[in-house]
């Protein structure tokens, strides 16, 4: 539900914004006001050398997982420390939380009875001030987005502050295929909405699900765009990084997927860009999009010294992964 990007419902895809587009394989995302997203172009690539590495064994997942106000106690690398739920007829749900870590994950859930394709507009507020907007469907599962320090400090929030986080429902709509637009729908009367905050847990302490006997097939999303190039991890050493030389121009999309839990960290010319975190054995994915030369891109873009047409060096460094992973780069 909460999400950093677009809402993938039953509508035709909207044109990509000129600056950036960020997405995850899950249905929903939360766009924190004032934050923006990323990425690049293609030249050639080479797999870096290095010995086979071993990773510590994470904690086993409790079975069954304890739930707090309908949310799993552990999810997406975080431990839920505050949560609240309310009937969908209440129109909103609020929780108070003392900020002890800026790298928190904010979760939401939306479960209600409604016609297929119904979408409820959702607004997220901090201390009563509108922060972002998204939407939720009747069958959405709890999901969340990791926020960084800038999402809080940009709004004058410091460590130790107690904030009031609210998810407020708006009108219900349903996509009209004939008109190719959203039209008003009946507000749901039966269901529950929820909101939660989770603090990050070190990988070695996070209770991962049991490893399946057979891992899923690696499937790196294409996002429906042609002209992309896919690179896969080293079958003998999934912890081996992949390095690419990219031409710094145009717009780029980066899609990453892993068959096992772990983190895929991206740097460009040594500048940290993005961490794709995977916490299941379900072949989850995440990704990023950006335009070179935009005046209001990510903070990391302001640190780039390369000019359009020059070559930059991008490296994807995996940690904790124990199976196949891959990356797809699309340039335009």
Domains and their CATH numbers in the chain: 38-55+208-331 (2.60.120.340), 78-200 (2.60.120.260)
167, 108 contact by CB (below 8 A): yes
pTM of the model: 0.71
Which among 220, 221, 331, 207 has a CA at the least distance from the CA of 280? 207
Average pLDDT of the segment spanning 169-198: 87
The least confident of 124-133, 145-154, 249-258 is: 145-154
Residue 88 carries which DSSP code?
A: G
Tokens matching residue 101: 């870590």
ω into residue 82 within 30 of 0, thus cis? no
Distance CA 25, CA 296 (A): 25
User: Radius of gyration over alpha carbons of the chain, in Å?
Assistant: 20
Tell me what pLDDT residue 32 has: 33
Predicted confidence (pLDDT) per residue in 86-113, tens digit: 999 999 999 999 998 888 899 998 888 8
E strand segments, 161-284: 162-176, 181-184, 191-200, 228-232, 242-247, 251-258, 262-268, 271-278
Residue 25 carries which DSSP code?
A: S
């Amino acid at each position: 539900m909460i999400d950093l990007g677009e809402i993938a419902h039953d509508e035709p895809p909207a044109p990509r914004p000129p600056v950036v587009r960020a997405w995850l394989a899950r249905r929903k995302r939360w766009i924190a006001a004032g934050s923006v997203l990323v990425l690049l172009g293609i030249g050639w690539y080479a797999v870096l050398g290095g010995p086979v590495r071993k990773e510590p064994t994470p904690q086993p997942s409790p079975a069954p997982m304890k739930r707090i106000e309908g949310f799993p106690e552990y999810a997406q690398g975080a431990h839920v420390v505050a949560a609240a739920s309310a009937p969908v007829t209440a129109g909103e749900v609020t929780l108070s939380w003392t900020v002890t870590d800026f790298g928190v994950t904010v979760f939401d859930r939306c479960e209600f009875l409604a016609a297929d394709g119904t979408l409820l507009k959702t607004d997220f507020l901090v201390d009563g001030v509108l922060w972002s907007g998204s939407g939720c469907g009747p069958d959405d599962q709890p999901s969340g987005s990791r926020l960084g320090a800038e999402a809080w400090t940009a709004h004058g929030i410091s460590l130790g502050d107690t904030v009031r986080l609210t998810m407020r429902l708006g009108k219900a709509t349903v996509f009209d295929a004939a008109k190719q637009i959203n039209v008003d729908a009946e507000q749901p009367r039966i269901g529950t909405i929820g909101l939660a905050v989770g603090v990050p847990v070190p990988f070695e302490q996070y209770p991962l699900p049991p490893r399946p006997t057979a891992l899923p097939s690696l499937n790196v999303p294409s996002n429906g765009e042609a002209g992309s190039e896919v690179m896969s991890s080293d079958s003998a050493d999934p912890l081996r990084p992949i390095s690419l030389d990219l031409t710094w121009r145009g717009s780029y999309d980066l899609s990453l997927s892993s068959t096992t839990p772990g983190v895929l960290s991206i740097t460009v010319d040594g500048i940290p860009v993005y961490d794709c975190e995977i916490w299941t054995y379900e072949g989850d994915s995440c990704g990023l999009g950006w335009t070179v030369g935009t005046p209001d891109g990510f903070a990391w873009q302001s640190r780039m010294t390369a000019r359009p047409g020059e070559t930059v060096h991008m490296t994807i460094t995996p940690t904790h992964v124990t199976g196949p992973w891959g990356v797809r780069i699309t340039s335009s």
